[in-house]
Amino acid sequence: MIGLISATAAGAAARDRLAAAWPDRTRVYEGPVGEAVRSAFSECEQLVCFLATGATVRLLAPLLAGKAADPGVVCVDEGGRFAVSLVGGHGGGANELAREVGELLGAEPVVTTATDAVGLAGLDTLGLPCEGAVAAVSRALLDGEPVALDAESTWPLPPLPVSPRGSYTIRLTDRDVEPGPREVLLRPPSLVVGVGASKGAPVDEVFGLIEETLREAGLSPRSVAELATVDAKSEEPGILGAAGRLGVPVVTYSAEELATVEVPNPSAAPLAAVGTPSVAEAAALLGGGELLVPKRKSDASPAMATCAVVRRPGRGRLAVVGLGPGARDLLTPRATAELRRASVLVGLDQYVDQIRDLLRPGTRVLESGLGAEEERARTAVEQARLGHAVALIGSGDAGVYAMASPALAEASDDIEVIGVPGVTAALAAAAILGAPLGHDHVSISLSDLHTPWEVIERRVRAAAEADLVVTFYNPRSRGRDWQLPKALGILAEHRAPTTPVGVVRNASRPDGSSRVSTLAGLDPASVDMMTVVTVGNTATRTVAGRMVTPRGYRWQNGRSEQPEETR
């Protein structure tokens, strides 16, 4: 919950805007400011104070306990110009909150955390538990000193500017070891503990068994990702209680699924009780991995709990990111976040140049020229299979005539795949032209490099006969100068010569241009590969120089098929 505190009418107005935008995330604190800050500090995970920073500092000073415990605090000035991350930038999430508040209120986020200020990923923001000399190693990264990454297993980490050797170390391990004086330990969630329990097994017995098993195996409980068991035990209090103490979820499988897993220690007892010869080992192994600790029983008499431990390898991550049509303000926040999350970036060289400034230090860039789409897709998937966090970029939306299709054709379920949508060239061009896509529409690429012309022509004819608005991608190049005239001729068999046609080149970019012509008046020679051509349907009209396709054929008669609010 985010506590909101203000002292003036202007602050209250901005406060109320946040409260209205985030009704489920915020709580307004009224009354004297000092009391409001004290109450919010003890009751909320984050605070936004519409107060001067000096006043907020004085109010907060007696309350501060430490960066691991304090809530994140953001200050917004009286004029709403700045959102200042004041306390708990990383641990309390104040840096990100300042950006969110700034975006909503139109304020400039002010973040002074050193790593954030220079674009480095903070070691305590990587999504993994960390311990050790975080401040010292972070300072070494900031100062450009060599910091080594000692990864005992591959994990899809964000980019870090590490060296093969260094006097400081970032160590990725699930083993129960103590960090050195110049070392940070990162704990990957690589361990799965399979658990079996008799009805009514005490939580102390279940948790004690897990704790002792991990300690004797030299494994860190901070790397436990989940407890796994059979469906029949999904509500067993002892298992749920142990998971609660570890802070991990309980994952369950059916007895039929568990019975298919080959285990070293099957038993007749669970087979008779729940229908599978193994619970602990089978549940831990079902998702794959290496069995580190075979089934063992608790020391109680009679033993009411069993467990087994499996190490799962890191699963690579592939984000297929659409960059939009070119303008930076049409690049989505989600796309920006994924670009900064990736340790490996794969893309066309000219697209890489568009967003190179957004990449974090340490990002490895694999770029290539035109015509290497399938090679880039294979490279991205291969890097993800090696356990890296990869971003594969494409213009517009990566799923529209771009990199998502070849990449997903290569990818299997051994990697995580995330699709990040982008603004397409068709949408960017339509916004410039007016509202040509107001009714049913279709996009067709006229490039026959990958699709036979006979197939393309059949699709154009179908769109013409169906009276769909058509946006042509890849309309004309030096070596393909006849396809666009041919396609326009097919549409002309079904549409009037005066049908509006929009032509937009480099939509949204500084050198972009646009014009509205007609089906009869368009000169195909004025079109190139950087252009999209949008041909209206029989209802499309030009209004004040803009293309408009009505939402319903009866619209121009003053009637609509359904009320606007139902659309």
Distance between terminal CA atoms of the chain? 34
The rounded distance, in Å, linking the Cα atoms of 439 and 553 is: 9
pLDDT at 555 (0 to 100): 52
Q: Are 503 and 470 in contact, with CB atoms under 8 Å apart? A: no
| Tokens (6 digits) for 503 | 């032509």
How many beta carbons lie within 10 A of that of residue 247, not counting itself? 10
Question: E-strand spans in 349-440?
Answer: 364-368, 389-394, 416-420, 434-435
What angle is formed at CA 70 by the lines to CA 66 and CA 76, rounded to 5 degrees?
125
Strand order in the sheet with 72-76: 26-28, 2-6, 46-50, 72-76, 82-87, 108-110
User: What would the DSSP string read from start to end of 377-403?
Assistant: HHHHHHHHHTT-EEEEEESB-TTSSSS
C-alpha angle with apex 148: 142 to 151, nearest 5 degrees? 125
- Other beta carbons within 10 angstroms of residue 481's beta carbon come to 12
Rounded to an integer, what distance in angstroms lies between the CA atom of residue 468 and that of residue 464?
A: 6
CA atoms within 13 A on the CB side of 173: 19
406-439, pLDDT tens digit by residue? 999 989 888 999 999 999 999 999 999 999 999 9
How far is residue 177's CA from residue 186's CA, in Å, rounded to a whole number?
11
In this structure, the number of other CB atoms found within 10 A of the CB of residue 547 comes to 24
Helices (H) and strands (E) in the chain, counts: 18, 28
Torsion-angle region of 143 (φ positive above 0: left; ψ -120 to 50: alpha; else: beta): alpha
| Cα–Cα distance measured from residue 98 to residue 53, given in angstroms and rounded to the nearest whole number | 14
Q: From CA 316, how far away is CA 412, in angstroms rounded?
A: 11
Q: How far is the C-alpha of 89 from the C-alpha of 104, rounded, in Å? A: 19
The pLDDT value given to residue 117: 65
Contact assessment for residue 516 and residue 412, using Cβ atoms and an 8 Å cutoff: no
- Pairing of β 46-50 and β 2-6: parallel
User: What does the pLDDT read at residue 553?
Assistant: 57
Return d(Cα 118, Cα 97) in angstroms, integer.
Answer: 18
Torsion of CA 171, 174, 177, 180, to 10 degrees: 10
Beta carbons within 8 Å of 185's beta carbon, 6+ residues apart: 130, 131, 132, 171, 173, 177, 179
Q: Is the pTM of this model over 0.85?
A: no
One digit per residue, the tens of pLDDT, for the chain of length 567 reads 999 999 888 888 998 999 999 998 899 999 898 999 999 988 999 999 999 889 899 999 998 888 778 899 999 988 889 999 998 887 788 888 998 999 889 999 988 876 666 677 778 778 788 899 988 998 888 888 899 999 988 889 888 888 888 899 999 999 999 999 999 999 999 999 999 999 999 999 999 999 999 999 999 999 999 999 999 999 999 999 999 999 999 999 999 999 999 999 888 888 888 888 999 999 999 988 999 999 999 988 898 999 999 999 889 999 999 999 999 999 999 999 999 999 999 999 999 999 999 998 889 999 998 878 899 999 999 999 999 999 999 999 999 988 999 999 989 888 999 999 999 999 999 999 999 999 999 999 999 888 999 999 999 999 999 999 999 999 998 888 899 999 999 999 999 999 999 999 999 999 999 999 999 999 999 999 999 999 999 999 999 999 999 987 565 555 444 444 433
Contact indicator for 187, 222 with CB cutoff of 8 Å? yes
Q: Where are the alpha helices (DSSP H) in 63-202?
A: 94-105, 114-117, 134-142
Burial 382-413 (b: 16+ CB within 10 A, else e): ebbbebbbbbbbbbbbbbbbbbbebbbebbee
d(CA 344, CA 319): 10
How far apart are alpha carbons 186 and 345 in whole angstroms? 23
Backbone φ and ψ for 231, nearest 5 degrees, come out as -50, -40
Q: Which pLDDT score is estimated for 561?
A: 45
- β-bridge mates for residue 416, sequence order: 317
Cα–Cα distance between 513 and 81 in angstroms, integer? 35
Q: Is the CB of residue 351 less than 8 Å from the CB of residue 321?
A: no
Work out the burial of residue 495: count CB atoms within 10 Å of its CB; fewer than 13 is exposed, 13-18 middle, 19 or more buried.
Answer: buried
Instruction: Please report where in the chains the tokens 């670009």 appear, as a residue.
Output: 339
Residue type, 364: R
| Phi, psi (rounded to 5 degrees) for 320 | -100, 110
Relative to beta strand 147-151, strand 168-172 is parallel
| CA atoms lying within 13 Å on the CB side of residue 471 | 25
- pLDDT attached to residue 564: 44
pLDDT tens digits, 486-537: 999 999 999 999 999 999 999 999 999 999 999 999 999 999 999 999 999 9
User: Per this entry, what is the length of the chain?
Assistant: 567
